[in-house]
Amino acid sequence: MKVLITDGVDAQCGQILAQNGFDVTEKPKISKEELKEIIGGFDKLIVRSATKVTAEIIEHGTNLKLIGRAGAGVDNIDIEAATRNGIIVMNTPGGNTVSAAEHTCAMMLSAARRIPQATADLKQGNWNKKKFTGVELEGKTLSIIGLGKIGREVATRMQAFGMKTIAYDPMIPDEYAAHLNIDLLPLHENFIRADFITIHSSLNESTRNLLAKETFDLMKDGVIIVNCARGGIINEEDLAEAITSGKVAAVALDVFESEPVNPDNPLLKLEQVIATPHIAASTNEAQEKVAVQIAEQIVAWKQKGKLEGAVNAAAVELAQAPGVQSYLTLAEKLGATLAQIAPLRANKMTVRTSGEFLHKFNEVITAAALKGFLDIRQSKDTNYINAFAMARESGISLEQKFEKENPDYTNLIRIELENGSSKRMIGGTVFGDKEIRIVMIDQFLVEFKPEGNIIIYNNIDKPGVIAHVTQLLLQHNLNVAYVALSRDEEKKVAMTAIVVDGKVPAALIEEIKAINGISEAHLALL
């Protein structure tokens, strides 16, 4: 039980592990090359954020059984590579919430009152009172992008300053936000109304460059922006232009797209920008909490087989199960598709599995469906371990049902999503060992492979509709790879799924919606 600890994790971590029989080695400033050389001799690795546990490092860790992250974010660990190699990844959610929230508030106040700039000027022997006139927070509107634990803590603190709080988080119910005295609004409304904006989202494909030229144009002149979440969410080049033009009055950044930040980064040359070196979670209290927490979780795993904070345990457990991986992939695809074609907010999800083979995997199939759904709908990374908790936190009630057999398919997964009177359903199966197919949407039996760019639309069943759609595709220079058609003869309605080659512009979906006879159209990116 040899443990390697890097990144200067608080000493209490190693002490607790050593007291419980672990052989602990601490190398706080280890280089990538040295880590590659020695990692094969350890079965556990504990890091903070500095060590990048890449697929290459993992491949050299031939004896690794667990990677522990003393903190919440695991974007410095290649979870897919770890899962593929049967390595459990464990983090410590919540340990640094207060520290990150307090740092965010401090940065907001500092930006509003220009405290760092005034301090630097004063130390140069100046006394420029008028130069550093600030703005009050009281009565201003604060937009919180991402209402996770940190976002909610920031809201509570800034409400005490008299700020009106609005937010964007597609997974939080209106009722829950209202209980926190927060108005949930669409993303563009947040940008339009906010005097201050603070980011509390993880970095993924849906949040990368979330703040860029187009969104800056929506904002009030003189808006103040804080980002203590992840670099890359704000387009730094566009931000520099927005500051120079006067659109953005002040910015406070704890994170950058590339870290350590390049000294030539134009943002560092702008007086309106204050910055810290990714230290939002760096308080003595937070570092002690996460160090103790990760050590105690590892001890509990050793002594009781209890996996607290594991982000990929279910996937690791099932990695060797013959035949199940295709169904987990299918469940994720079904959830992701439903997230893109169903109403934005949902309060209930039902996952139905049919077939004896799927019965024993019902729980993890549900987790996979949630992962696919939540990865699209929210800004945080979801995994099989936290999917259920994140669904509950988002106000989604969950029901799991099993049917011994289905008259049409040996094994079938169906997901139903409800929001009041609105209800959508999607179902799929696996042919052979790996041929994943969606086979039904609502009342339509429509079969296609859930892969690529898929346009899905409903229409009145009448001649000419598909001809209009294909004409639009031609105008946008998009090639049709596959077409699946289905119709409800009784109700005289139809559904079509078209898989196309190439990127589908949002304008095309709007043009399709405008075709006479089409009731709704969606783009599913899978």
Q: Report d(CA 221, CA 253) in Å as an integer.
A: 19
User: pLDDT, tens digit, for every residue of 89-136?
Assistant: 999 978 889 999 999 999 999 999 999 999 999 999 999 999 999 999
Q: Report d(CA 67, CA 316) in Å as an integer.
A: 13
Question: Given the structure tokens 């601490």, which residue do they identify?
Answer: 26
Mean pLDDT confidence for 33-40: 96
User: pLDDT, tens digit, for every residue of 360-383?
Assistant: 788 889 989 999 999 888 755 677
Question: Given the structure tokens 């209009």, which residue do they identify?
Answer: 468
Please give the pLDDT value at position 82: 85
User: pLDDT, tens digit, for every residue of 441-459?
Assistant: 999 999 999 999 999 999 9
Please determine, for residue 320, whether its predicted confidence score (pLDDT) is greater than 60. no
Please give the pLDDT value at position 196: 98
Please determine, for residue 486, whether its predicted confidence score (pLDDT) is greater than 90. yes
pLDDT band at 309 (very low <50, low <70, confident <90, very high): confident
- Maximum mean pLDDT: which of 20-29, 164-173, 196-205, 397-406: 20-29
In this structure, which amino acid lies at residue 213? K
pLDDT band at 314 (very low <50, low <70, confident <90, very high): low
SS3 of 314, please? helix
Is-above-0.75 flag for pTM? no
Q: Dihedral sign, CA of 142, 344, 79, 308?
A: positive
Please determine, for residue 49, whether its predicted confidence score (pLDDT) is greater than 70. yes
| DSSP classification of residue 266 | G
Backbone angles phi, psi at 156, to 5 degrees: -60, -45
Distance in angstroms between the alpha carbons of the first and the last residue of the chain: 41
User: pLDDT, tens digit, for every residue of 328-354?
Assistant: 999 999 999 999 998 777 889 999 999
User: pLDDT, tens digit, for every residue of 401-457?
Assistant: 998 888 899 999 999 999 877 899 999 999 988 899 999 999 999 999 999 999 999
Backbone angles phi, psi at 496, to 5 degrees: -130, 135
In this structure, which amino acid lies at residue 431? F
Please determine, for residue 466, whether its predicted confidence score (pLDDT) is greater than 60. yes
Please give the pLDDT value at position 318: 60
3-state secondary structure 333-367: HHHHHHHHHCCCCCCEEEEEEECHHHHCCHHHHHH
Question: Given the structure tokens 């936000």, which residue do they identify?
Answer: 177
In this structure, which amino acid lies at residue 446? V
Domains of the chain (ranges, CATH numbers): 2-94+285-315 (3.40.50.720), 97-275 (3.40.50.720), 321-442 (3.30.1330.90), 446-526 (3.30.70.260)
| DSSP classification of residue 131 | G
Q: Report d(CA 483, CA 457) in Å as an integer.
A: 12
Mean pLDDT of the chain: 92
Structure tokens at 499: 């898989």
pLDDT band at 319 (very low <50, low <70, confident <90, very high): very low
Mean pLDDT confidence for 198-222: 92
Cβ–Cβ under 8 Å, residues 219 and 245: no
Catalytic residues: 230, 259, 278
SS3 of 118, please? helix
Backbone angles phi, psi at 499, to 5 degrees: -90, 125
SS3 of 129, please? coil
Q: Report d(CA 172, CA 394) in Å as an integer.
A: 5
Q: Quickly list DSSP for 133-180.
A: -----TT-EEEEE--SHHHHHHHHHHHTTT-EEEEE-TTS-HHHHHHT
Please determine, for residue 76, whether its predicted confidence score (pLDDT) is greater than 80. yes
pLDDT over 70 percentage in the chain: 97
Q: Report d(CA 173, CA 292) in Å as an integer.
A: 34
